[in-house]
Amino acid sequence: MTGEQSRIGVWAVTSLAGCAMALGGCGVSPETGSTEVAVVAQPLASPVANLGEVTVADDSPLDARQRPAAIPAPASGYSIEFDPPILDMGYVAPNRDATGSIEMRNTGSRPIRILSVKPSCKCTTLEDLTGRVIQPGESIPLKASLDGRAVTGVRTATITVVFDGIPEPQRVELRAEVTMAVRVMPGILNLGSGDTTGHVAVESIDGRPFNILAANRQPPRFVDFDPDLDEPQSKYVLQWDLTEEESQRRLQRWWVIETDHPDCPLTDAWIRHLTTIERPPRDRPWSVPGRRSLIGLIERGGFADFTVDIKNIPASDAIYAVRSLSADFNAELLGFERDGVNGVCTIRVVPRSEFTGLLYGRVELLASTYTHGQDVIGKVQ
């Protein structure tokens, strides 16, 4: 790759990241109504490669967001400092918890008692520190955990801490990004503005070079990269064009990318269009946070089992069956387990014996009060 090509590549990825940040943030998903689903994924300040239980990377230089935030000491001698001021938990795989901690340091001259510590949502679990006293010059960790979610994107929450002697409650922001081992930025191809073409950045979280095999069932359209001449990279820029699909009214909900990354054979971006936005009935008794299930690789003649999380299902209701809406595979209900008001449905997908390639279809989850449609994406080889 020439020096000029390298500069163009860096510009392209940087521009895309900037666009993602401009479009990003947490908002209400047009499909699920969930306020925990980020509209656009954006880069984290301190990425970590481990996609299991995530901790904050501590070997990178501190930037303005990571430097300790001190509350100015009033005349009373009470002062507290949070280090770091924002708990960035890094990248976390779908359905895995993200964990981390912040040091609360007493920088004043008098002991400080913690009156209460509360999260902004039920998705955040905290250690009970009520009544703990921090002596001058000492610190204690504020440990937090964000519950795992199937939905990819940036997740945020807030912890409010009330101290005796400090008039105003203090707030700490938590942040994590749920992502596959290969992520797409932005995570939405937004056709709502009328554009039917654009670019996305595709990168491996662990920095491992990989190849992109296909995008939307077609050869990938690379920007500043020639797969016949250049070595595999850990980050690419792809062009997407859905003009024909939009004009012929055959848009699908997901733009699927196939890779040879060992931990992520499939990744995707949601195609946002009036025809792909599903508005469930207002009176639906239960919901499914994950809008689709990526089931990975399936050996020809084999099957794949996966789970679907269900929220707020009535005690008198249960998933009693599933059915496939695709001619390419059958679907079977293996079980339904309840955990309080929530439940987990286990499903088996069995492709046709002669089928190979990208498996893209839909299953329905049936209960007495509601029927939910779930997209299923896999690859048979």
Q: Is residue 321 part of a domain?
A: yes
In a 13 Å sphere around the CA of 272, the CA atoms on its Cβ side amount to 16
- Predicted confidence at residue 8, as pLDDT, reads 38
Q: Is 196 exposed, middle or buried (0-12, 13-18, 19+ CB in 10 A)?
A: middle
Q: Is residue 207 part of a domain?
A: yes
CATH assignment of the domain containing 119 = 2.60.40.10
Are residues 62 and 157 both part of a single domain? yes
Token pair, residue 198, equals 């654009």
The pTM of this model reads 0.73
pLDDT tens-place string over residues 277-296: 988 888 889 999 888 999 99
Are residues 122 and 207 both part of a single domain? no
Q: Is residue 139 part of a domain?
A: yes
Are residues 186 and 294 both part of a single domain? no
Q: Tokens 């995570």, residue?
A: 187
Nearest to 208 by CA among 51, 381, 2, 59: 51
Whether 68 shows a pLDDT value over 80: the answer reads no
Q: How many domains does the chain have?
A: 3
Phi-psi region of 16 (alpha: psi -120 to 50; beta: other; left: phi over 0): alpha
Are residues 262 and 343 both part of a single domain? no
Q: What are phi and psi of 288, to 5 degrees?
A: -125, 115
Last residue in a domain, options 155, 175, 195: 175
Q: Which of 91-100, 254-263, 330-339 has the lowest mean pLDDT?
A: 91-100
Q: In what order do the strands lie in the sheet with 235-241?
A: 182-185, 197-204, 235-241
Q: Which of 78-82, 150-154, 256-260, 305-309 has the lowest mean pLDDT?
A: 150-154
pLDDT tens-place string over residues 43-66: 333 333 334 333 333 333 434 445
Token pair, residue 114, equals 């913690």
Are residues 62 and 143 both part of a single domain? yes
Are residues 185 and 273 both part of a single domain? yes
- Predicted confidence at residue 30, as pLDDT, reads 37
Whether 151 shows a pLDDT value over 80: the answer reads no
Q: Which residue type, as a one-letter code, is found at position 50?
A: N
Q: Is residue 60 part of a domain?
A: yes
- Predicted confidence at residue 60, as pLDDT, reads 37
Predicted confidence band of residue 125 (pLDDT cuts 50, 70, 90): very high
- Predicted confidence at residue 77, as pLDDT, reads 82
Are residues 267 and 363 both part of a single domain? no
- Predicted confidence at residue 69, as pLDDT, reads 54
- Predicted confidence at residue 283, as pLDDT, reads 85
Q: Which residue type, as a one-letter code, is found at position 254?
A: W
Contact 343, 282 (CB under 8 A): no
Q: Is residue 58 part of a domain?
A: yes
**If you write DSSP's letter for every residue of 113-166 in order, what string do you get?**
EEEEEEESSTTEEE---TT-EE-TT-EEEEEEEEPP-SS-EEEEEEEEEEETT-
Query: Chain-wide mean pLDDT for the chain?
Result: 83
Whether 38 shows a pLDDT value over 70: the answer reads no
Nearest to 183 by CA among 17, 3, 7, 366: 17
Q: How far is the C-alpha of 137 from the C-alpha of 361, rounded, in Å?
A: 59
Q: What domain range includes position 150?
A: 51-175
- Predicted confidence at residue 338, as pLDDT, reads 93
Q: Is residue 63 part of a domain?
A: yes
224-228 mean pLDDT: 97
Are residues 364 and 293 both part of a single domain? yes
Contact 153, 289 (CB under 8 A): no
- Predicted confidence at residue 161, as pLDDT, reads 96
Three-state SS at 14:
helix
Whether 153 shows a pLDDT value over 70: the answer reads yes
Token pair, residue 361, equals 């279809």
Are residues 103 and 26 both part of a single domain? no
Euclidean distance between the first and the last CA atom of the chain, given in angstroms as a whole number: 33
Last residue in a domain, options 279, 308, 337: 279
Contact 151, 290 (CB under 8 A): yes
Last residue in a domain, options 254, 279, 304: 279
Are residues 110 and 196 both part of a single domain? no
Q: How far is the C-alpha of 148 from the C-alpha of 93, rounded, in Å?
A: 8
Q: Which of 60-64, 180-184, 331-335 has the lowest mean pLDDT?
A: 60-64
Q: Is residue 31 part of a domain?
A: yes
Q: Is residue 46 part of a domain?
A: no
Q: What percent of the chain has pLDDT over 70?
A: 80
- Predicted confidence at residue 37, as pLDDT, reads 33
Are residues 359 and 246 both part of a single domain? no
Are residues 127 and 150 both part of a single domain? yes
